[in-house]
Amino acid sequence: MTAKTFDAIIIGAGQAGPPLAGRLSAAGMSVALIERKLVGGTCVNTGCMPTKTMVASAYAAHLARRAADYGVTLGGPVGVDYARIKARKDKVTIDARTGLEDWIAGMDKCTLYRGHARFESADTVRVGEELLTAGKIFINTGGRASVPDLPGIHDIDYMTNSSMMDLEVLPRHLVVVGGSYISLEFAQMFRRFGSDVTVIEKSPRLTGREDEDVSAAILSILENEGIAVHVGAEDIAFARQGDDIVVTFAAGQPPSVGSHVLLALGRVPNTDDLGLDKAGIATDRRGFITVDDQLRTSVPGIWAMGDCNGKGAFTHTSYNDYEIVAANLLDNDPRKVSDRIEAYALYIDPPLGRCGMTEAAVKKSGRRALVGQRPMSRVGRAVEKGETQGFMKILVDADSREILGCSVLGPGGDEAVHCVLDLMYAKAPVDTLARAVHIHPNVSELLPTIAQELKPLV
């Protein structure tokens, strides 16, 4: 079979693939973009967009139940129509995916192939019966939920973040196995929809990559809403009990009996069925494609972007991967992954916005450091909104005055943290923040105040 020749092949239409196809085709290159399932990848179809749409519905239900706190009277108890919640979520997702498909269809010199791509060699890819060849190949295949071989796991019907999006009924009792970002968003969301919710986490605390004070505050937020949390669960196992699922997790502890189980135990890259060995592409022990600081793989002419390269697990890092590749190839701009400052959010309510180093990481580095902190109960805007859970914290190098990191757990924390993140990218000292005049009343207006009240980190 004669292979069709392109200037570039992009495997995967997630967050990095389509914009790169747009840049390359606009530069006059012929591009084959391959997607075996849904255009838009995790973010559009099973991740950010659908889940945050449901988070918004959950927030509306929660706020309605608190109406009396604001002097608002409702005509009766607050109800939840889960079918309408799902329909709203589905519309947001479909609209976004359709918009992406229309954009791709309008790209000159770009051909979209539907199917499973496998390498035949370092410059040839098979999609079904089609053979495609190109001098440049970009891998953007994303990741999926990890499903460890826990005792009894094959005897039950479990859900992952993806299959949760197809759930048609509201769980009576949702047992969430895992105590990190995805799991906690679902836990709070479904508790606010009316489900009983239990979270079971193997580690000694929730969100283990965060500082202990952040983890403790998150635990308090969840428990205040009636979510049962069990940490230190070393012996997780599953069994059927009629229509229910029994989850045991620690000797001497009564099991949790739920109607539904969500597994949220991390992610694995979609690299195991690409035929990477035929192209000679190196991976690490976890299956992530090995890349350098400009996202080049071990094979010249092949790049890897997004979740499959292990350099980031977020939509924004995947999109930044596209920017790095495009800048180097097309703009003579030597951007690199190591320029990136770690930043992300946890979308419980109130949300956590995080950037830079944690307190634990700063202490481990051995440098002299300063810290400033303020509880949301002392932030006027949070008090006015009746949302005073959480706190904000800034970490600073004591010698250079460089901002090292920031955590904002509170109303608007996912937005307010960018005040600090932008200064970190500008390499501005904390004194720049301290002298800034922010709008009142606002959560972020207290960041300059905190910057004026720094104390030695001990």
Instruction: List CB contacts of 69: < 8 A, sequence separation 6 or more.
Output: 386
- Residue at token pair 């996912």: 414
As a whole number of Å, the end-to-end CA separation of the chain is: 68
Cβ atoms of 270 and 308 within 8 Å: the answer is yes
Phi, psi dihedrals of residue 388, rounded to the nearest 5°: -110, 10
The H or E element that residue 23 is part of is: helix 17-26
Task: Supply the Cα-derived Rg of the chain in whole angstroms.
Answer: 24
What's the Cα-to-Cα distance from 385 to each of 125, 361, 379, 410, rounded to whole Å?
55, 33, 10, 11
Bridge partners, 370 (sequence order): 396, 456
* Tally of CA atoms within 13 A in the half-sphere of 74 that contains its CB: 13
Contact status, residue 425 vs residue 340, Cβ threshold 8 Å? no
Separation CA 421–CA 155 (nearest Å): 46
3-class SS at 443? helix
Backbone angles phi, psi at 410, to 5 degrees: 165, 180
Closest CA to 166 of 264, 89, 258: 89
- DSSP result, 46-95: TSHHHHHHHHHHHHHHHHHHTGGGGT---SS-----HHHHHHHHHHHHHH
Any catalytic annotation for residue 440?
yes
At residue 419, φ and ψ (nearest 5 deg) are -55, -40
Pick the catalytic residue: 62, 230, 260, 440?
440
Token digits for 246? 């029994």
Written as one letter, the residue type at 83 is A
How many Å apart are CA 62 and CA 80, to the nearest integer? 10
- What is the CB-side half-sphere exposure of residue 69 using CA atoms within 13 A? 10
Q: Are 104 and 35 in contact (CB under 8 A)?
A: no
How far apart, in whole angstroms, are the C-alpha atoms of residue 57 and residue 43? 18
Active site residues: 440
